[in-house]
Chain A
Amino acid sequence: MNLDFSPVFADWESLASGALVTIEITAFALLLGCVIGLLVGIGRLNPQRRIVYGLCSLYLLCFRGTPLLVQLFIWFYGLPQFGVKLPAFACGVLGLAMYSGAYVSEIVRGSIQSIDRGQAEAARSLGMSSGQAMRIIILPQALVRMIPPLGNEFIALIKNSALVSLLTIHDLMHEGQKIIAVSYRSLETYLVIALVYLVLTTITTTILRYIEKRLRAGGMVQ
């Protein structure tokens, strides 16, 4: 067995541009997914608000309960039947964000509900509205507890983003497959791609760990 990485390294520019697309798409999806997750997570705090709770639960059920690849294909290949034709990049971002948002919403809800009831009671006793209590007292504390599970979710998102290569998006995976099509060097190419993904996920983990440490040092956590 002989490994020959030279065709892979020869086309490093394609891989770099692919990595950039992967970073862009996951960054947008991550931000959007967090916004969706925050709203849905808060929407699922109170089952007594039936409509909001019901809608948020339905979203969670659908987007967490079906394969990401199927969702991505619906966005890209399915919706045009209704005349909704989004660019591939938008489909990738939306598809990843809606999928990831479902998981983030459960992280958000769990973290908020893990904050002691007494915190909300103390805030409300001062005269704060439920919104003020959430924003000023509960969320800042919940945020710190969200970080470790969010780290997991972000890593999953980066890895899952490889699927958007099937939507004609020229991400890292897609560029790699182009190299293989020409060079037939599958193992070498996939190994290099895997390494690039590993670097991306490691950077993400490091950043989150740093943020968590800063928050803890700032006394956000007992």
Chain B
Amino acid sequence: MSTSDMIRIRDLHKSYGSHKVLTGIDFSVPTSQVVVVIGPSGSGKSTLLRCCNGLEVAQEGTIEIDGRALLEHGRLLPEVQLNALRTQVGMVFQSFNLFPHLSVLENVTVGPRTLRGMRRAEADALAKTLLAKVGLQDKTEAMPASLSGGQKQRVAIARALAMEPKVMLFDEPTSALDPELVGEVLQVMKLLAKEGMTMMVVTHEMGFARDVADVVAVMDGGRIIELGAPEVIFTAPRQARTREFLHAVLSAQGSVANALPPAASADAAAAANPLG
């Protein structure tokens, strides 16, 4: 897949006032691959993701989606073209952002009906297929307020898929979920990955990154400090900062032993058992 990149980012800089959030990002998401972005909070990973559909605007740099410039030297695409381009970029939020005044089915059909000119019957059929795919075929008439977090997020994924996007962006899709509901969302995401969907995922789910990612990008301080295959990042990270971050996250997630590189494991063991 080296021939085509779905997302291509060059020299992206963004700051809020004097606070620099992104400091020179060069990065791409190859077509049909899953790129997982990890890093400590405040490292700029969510901002980077939100730049990829124009929710955030970087002051400098260029972003291309499937060869079309979303941002060119810090200038965002004009409104009408931006809206058209956004229909091709699915977005899944940490806090779901389902439309509470619409039923589950309407949440999924509202996009295709208003933006793809789809008739109600056609859109309903599409929505039902997608809801079945995320395992919610029996919830079509429910209102979002009656769903669990995991169900909400699966509806949100179906809603994004209804636009038949070329790429899906996930902004910490499981961070707002109760632990026992994380699995059902990740499962849907794995299914998408298997189907060849191009995905850019910001997450703290290291297990997902290890199992599903084609590429893992590690961010810190507004830049990508390390980029590589998950087996490399998780077993032999080159950067000390990556090791520190993985150590902190993985010990919190309780899988220190089987995930950390040997040196760090020893440290962790020593930390866990100071007398030993």
The reply to whether A121 and B103 contact each other, CB–CB distance below 8 Å, is: no
CB within 8 Å of B: which A119-139 residues: 119, 121-130, 132, 136-137
The reply to whether B83 and A128 contact each other, CB–CB distance below 8 Å, is: yes
Q: What sequence of 0s and 1s flags, for each residue 251-265 of chain B, a beta carbon within 8 Å of any chain A beta carbon?
A: 000000000000000
The reply to whether A141 and B114 contact each other, CB–CB distance below 8 Å, is: no
Is B47 engaged at the interface, CB distance under 8 Å to the other chain?
no
A219–B147 CA distance with the chains assembled, in angstroms:
13
The count of A-to-B residue pairs whose CB atoms sit within 8 angstroms is 75
Across the two chains, which residue of chain B brings its CB closest to A123?
B99
Q: Given A118-B93, A136-B114, A125–B99 Cβ distance below 8 Å?
A: no
The A contact surface, by secondary structure, is: helix
A121–B169 CA distance with the chains assembled, in angstroms:
13
CB within 8 Å of B: which A137-174 residues: 137, 140-141, 144
Q: Using Cβ atoms and an 8 Å threshold, which residues of chain A touch B85?
A: 127
Q: Given A121-B93, A222-B145, A137–B99 Cβ distance below 8 Å?
A: yes
Q: Using Cβ atoms and an 8 Å threshold, which residues of chain B touch A200?
A: none
The reply to whether A122 and B97 contact each other, CB–CB distance below 8 Å, is: yes
CB proximity of A48 to chain B, nearest CB, Å = 13
The reply to whether B87 and A141 contact each other, CB–CB distance below 8 Å, is: no
The reply to whether B55 and A122 contact each other, CB–CB distance below 8 Å, is: no
Q: Using Cβ atoms and an 8 Å threshold, which residues of chain B touch A122?
A: 91, 93, 97-99, 156, 159
A125–B89 CA distance with the chains assembled, in angstroms:
8
Across the two chains, which residue of chain B brings its CB closest to A117?
B97
A3–B111 CA distance with the chains assembled, in angstroms:
67
Is A221 engaged at the interface, CB distance under 8 Å to the other chain?
yes
CB within 8 Å of B: which A42-100 residues: none
A222–B101 CA distance with the chains assembled, in angstroms:
8
3 interchain residue pairs of minimum CB distance: A127-B87, A122-B97, A118-B97
Q: Which positions in A face B, CB cutoff 8 Å?
A: 116, 118-119, 121-130, 132, 136-137, 140-141, 144, 219-222
| Given A118-B95, A121-B55, 8 additional A-B pairs, CB 8 A | A123-B99, A125-B86, A125-B90, A132-B114, A136-B114, A137-B99, A220-B101, A221-B100
Q: Which positions in B face A, CB cutoff 8 Å?
A: 53, 55, 79-80, 83-87, 89-91, 93, 95, 97-101, 103, 110-111, 114-115, 143-145, 156, 159-160, 163
23 pairs from A and B in contact (CB 8 Å cutoff): A121-B55, A121-B91, A121-B93, A122-B99, A124-B86, A125-B55, A125-B86, A125-B89, A125-B91, A125-B160, A126-B86, A126-B87, A126-B110, A126-B111, A127-B84, A127-B85, A128-B83, A128-B114, A128-B115, A130-B79, A137-B110, A141-B100, A219-B143
